[in-house]
Structure 1
Amino acid sequence: MKTSVAAALAGLAMASTPTLGADLFGVAPPPMSFPASESPLTEVGTNWYLRGDIGYEFDNEPTVVPTAGLIPAILNDSLTGASYVNAPPGNASSNAGVTRGNNQNSQGLNFDVGVGYRVNNFLRLEATYMYSNGPSLSYAKGSLCPDATVPVSNEVGGTPVPVGYLWAPVDCTGYLHATQTNNTALASAYLDLGTFWGVTPYIGAGGGLNANTISGSTHFIINADGTPFRGNTSSSGAPNLWVVQTGVSGGYAVYTPLGVQPDVDFGNQNWDRHFSSTHYSMAAALMAGFGYQLSPSATLDVGYQYLSLDLFGSTKSTMQDFRVGIRYMAN
């Protein structure tokens, strides 16, 4: 029995040896081989990568102008000497108009995410989305708010004749606050300039679209008590005219209509407004920086970017930023 088992094992070993197997069972098949592109061991998608960055930016962009449509100016009536304001157009539920003014400087953080493809050892292509803030604005302006309506009359032959409503506004302050954001989509190409001591410098350029949004609100506070302005100017029987006292006759006050009537309705007043305006424009960027490989999959990216947010427009909005991020190969 032991002799039979030993013989069987010896025969199996001989059959598993290529040379002996060929002698026993014919010519052995050649080893399997594949082109590199078809090898089952080749990883799929290793040229694709994801990226994310945080940057510190220096902006030069226009901001909102506090026009009479948001913060009314105090006007003076040349005939009567009275001061008044025109109410902001629209109503509290409508979107007020925005006028972009002179450029302002600001600083802050931005964030971007994107996807890239390494074409070869030198060329990379990327598509990114960046969110950033532009200059904000806080503004306060003294104003006049018509807080109450008092019907008044002139005495004509001993008979009171209603002539209008007394223009007697209270001091108030209008406050405006605006914020600005940019949403920028770029398609970019990067040229890696070789690796030196583990560091790979690069340059790049890109183009795309930017959506600049300025939004905010205005509200009015009565100076005397700090309460929100909600004027009660309901009319009650007199002509819808604003008048001021211009003298005394026969012991009675004489009222005269303002030479130019304020644009203030005869009803409850709410001068609070909100506003939002988005400006779309072409964007272009120039980049430079370096990458440092942290692992086979992760690369630290440190870079500088100059970005024109309104390439062919009139606002000449620009941004410069320094950013740090990670590029992660999608193995």
Structure 2
Amino acid sequence: MNLKSRAALALAALAFSPLPQALAADYDPSVYVEETPEYTPVEVGSGWYLRGDIGYNVNKSPYDVSFNGTDSEGSRINGGLGVGYHFTDYFRGDINLGFLSHDKYNWTNGIDAIRAESNIWSGMANGYFDLGTIAGFTPYIGAGVGMLHSSRKVDDTFLGISERDTQYAFAYSLGAGLAYKVAQNTSVDLGYQYVSAPGLEYFDIPTGSMEKGLDYHQVRVGLRYDLW
């Protein structure tokens, strides 16, 4: 090999020797990482609550009578169960089924007899405004509408009356109270409620006539559990 050929080979080697390093330096592929969608937990039952109440009817039932020397028997204890929802921090509503009163009257003089029995139930939809919470105490006011169901039977041999009757009548309620949170999801409720059914008929034992209009003044204690 002559001198000219050796010089050409040396120049060729010198020209191509940096090419791999240059290519390696220029090639920098980007790395694509697929983003994982953010996981958002779903709250099951958020805003819903369960409630139970027991109460006392302050005023007398129309069947709570003393007539002909005989007193009627009955209970002023009432109660109910319901489910509700917190629409906002200050407004909530619930639906309740409750028992209002049970009364029974039995009288006889050995010849004539008067026997009467009444049971009254309620189904109400209520709304409440919570007026803010201070030290765990939340005062509220409320109102509701619904129906009363009355089952009544009367047998009066003296007046010749024998009657079996079932009624449904429109009712409304007004109330106020104070709730106290005893645990994270649990509140105790003390309140007053007025329930009225202006169109509900009842049998007036002393006069032996049908009258219309029942109302109840109630003191109630309840327990509310939030399903958070």
TM over 0.5: yes
Q: 2:167 aligns to what?
A: 279
Q: 2:85 aligns to what?
A: 117
Contact 2:168–2:200 (Cα < 8 Å) also in 1: no
- Residue type at the aligned position of 1:50: L
- Residue type at the aligned position of 1:130: G
Q: 2:145 aligns to what?
A: 207
In the aligned structure 2, how far is the partner of 1:288 from the partner of 1:24?
71
Q: 1:193 aligns to what?
A: 131
Pick from 214, 219, 225: which aligns with 1:322? Answer: 219
**Which runs of structure 2 are paired with 1:25-40 in the superposition (5 Å)?**
26=31, 28=33, 32-33=37-38, 39=40
Q: Displacement of 1:175 after TM fit?
A: 3.2
In the aligned structure 1, how far is the partner of 2:137 from the partner of 2:29?
58
In the aligned structure 1, how far is the partner of 2:186 from the partner of 2:125?
22
Q: 1:137 aligns to what?
A: 105
Identity of aligned residues (%): 30
Runs of 4+ in 1 over 6 A off after TM superposition: none
SS of 2:198's equivalent in the other structure is coil
Q: 2:57 aligns to what?
A: 57
Q: 1:262 aligns to what?
A: none
Contact 1:62–1:315 (Cα < 8 Å) also in 2: no
**Which runs of structure 2 are paired with 1:124-273 in the superposition (5 Å)?**
124-141=92-109, 172-215=110-153
In the aligned structure 2, how far is the partner of 1:319 from the partner of 1:201?
22
Tell me: CA distance 1:306–1:24, structure 2 relative to 1, closer, same or farther (3 Å): farther
Q: 1:45 aligns to what?
A: 45
Q: 1:299 aligns to what?
A: 187
Q: Displacement of 1:204 after TM fit?
A: 0.3
- Residue type at the aligned position of 2:223: I
Q: Displacement of 1:327 after TM fit?
A: 1.0
Q: Displacement of 1:325 after TM fit?
A: 1.4
In the aligned structure 2, how far is the partner of 1:181 from the partner of 1:44?
38
SS of 1:208's equivalent in the other structure is strand
Residue by residue, what CA displacement relative to the aligned partner does 1:207-239 show, whole Å, maximum 9, x if unpaired?
1111122236579xxxxxxxxxxxxxxxxxxxx
Q: Displacement of 1:275 after TM fit?
A: 4.5
Contact 2:143–2:174 (Cα < 8 Å) also in 1: yes
- Residue type at the aligned position of 2:107: Y
In the aligned structure 1, how far is the partner of 2:88 from the partner of 2:144?
18
Q: 1:290 aligns to what?
A: 178
User: Between Structure 1 and Structure 2, which shows a larger proportion of strand residues?
Assistant: 2
In the aligned structure 1, how far is the partner of 2:29 from the partner of 2:200?
81
In the aligned structure 2, how far is the partner of 1:320 from the partner of 1:204?
15
Q: Displacement of 1:32 after TM fit?
A: 4.2
Contact 1:210–1:310 (Cα < 8 Å) also in 2: no
SS of 2:212's equivalent in the other structure is coil
Q: 1:92 aligns to what?
A: none
Q: Displacement of 1:27 after TM fit?
A: 5.5
Residue by residue, what CA displacement relative to the aligned partner does 1:142-193 show, whole Å, maximum 9, x if unpaired?
xxxxxxxxxxxxxxxxxxxxxxxxxxxxxx3333332211111111110000
Q: Displacement of 1:42 after TM fit?
A: 3.1
Tell me: CA distance 1:29–1:287, structure 2 relative to 1, closer, same or farther (3 Å): same
- Residue type at the aligned position of 2:38: S
Mean CA deviation greater in 275-284 or 189-198: 275-284
Contact 1:59–1:135 (Cα < 8 Å) also in 2: no
| Residue ranges of structure 2 left out of the alignment (5+ in a row) | 1-27, 65-71, 202-210
In the aligned structure 2, how far is the partner of 1:43 from the partner of 1:24?
43
- Residue type at the aligned position of 1:33: E
| Residue ranges of structure 1 left out of the alignment (5+ in a row) | 1-22, 65-103, 142-171, 220-270
Task: Choose between structure 1 and 2 for higher RCO, CA contacts under 8 A separated by at least 6 residues.
Answer: 1
